[in-house]
Amino acid sequence: QVQLVQSGGGVVQPGGSLRLSCAASGFRFSDRVMQWVRQAPGKGLEWVALIQRDGSDQYYADSVQGRFTISRDLSKNTLYLAMNGLRPEDTAVYYCARGAGWVVDFWGQGTLVTVSS
Amino acid sequence: EIVLTQSPGTLSLSPGETATLSCRATQTVGNNYLAWHQQKPGQAPRLVIYTTSHRASGIPDRFSGSGSGTDFTLTISRLEPEDFAVYYCQQHAYAPLTFGGGTRVEMK
């Protein structure tokens, strides 16, 4: 069955860095666009980033452009989100998500990132 | 960037009733690439509808989507207890992909 197992969340100080991982199984990872979506506490969903199937192109929300980097390792079936220059407003549950085209058709369980001093 | 506005913010209904949720875009959504996701408390979202009217795998036929251009609707007929949740629309046509603010369907 399809699984997206996330890791790497935690507490980090403002200005700090963190890298999230998402290990995929149960489907052909290289066939799917992958994304990150986040949800601040008590708020709605906010799209963060998308990476094409072969990793050739990436797209970002304006709010994270230049600070976050989405990448994938096809040999490890793993998606990453490197986050630098973290701000308190980046505090959220981050979801790894599989795409069918650009629509999210399967969501990971989410991992909490807290940016606080 | 396409901004999606959902209405109403909250719908209070009883089981067996019909829920009608609206999602309006600030510009035409190409190919009607508009999806709906359901989220229950403490859970990850789940895809319900994609490309306006296509039900995702395992979604019962009481869920239906319609619309085109800038105006889209999710209809949930004969509400079941497990349908009470927050629903988000998402356009999957253009980057940056965007979500609406959500509609909460609560039990009256």
pLDDT tens across B59-86, in order?
999 999 999 999 999 999 999 999 999 9
At A9-23, the pLDDT tens digits run: 999 999 999 999 999
Q: Provide the shortest C-alpha distance from residue B106 to chain A (in Å).
A: 16
Beta strands B103-107 and B85-91, pairing class: antiparallel
Please report the beta strands in chain B, taking only residues with DSSP state E, as ranges in sequence order: 4-7, 10-13, 19-25, 34-39, 46-50, 54-55, 63-68, 71-76, 85-91, 98-99, 103-107
pLDDT in tens, B41-52: 999 999 999 999
Our CA-based measurement puts residue A31 at a distance from the nearest CA of chain B, in whole angstroms, of 18
Mutate to test the interface with A, among B33, B92, B98 (most CBs of A within 10 A): B92
Distance CA A50, CA A98 (A): 10
Cα B96 to the center of its chain, rounded Å: 19
- B21, B105 Cβ separation under 8 angstroms: yes
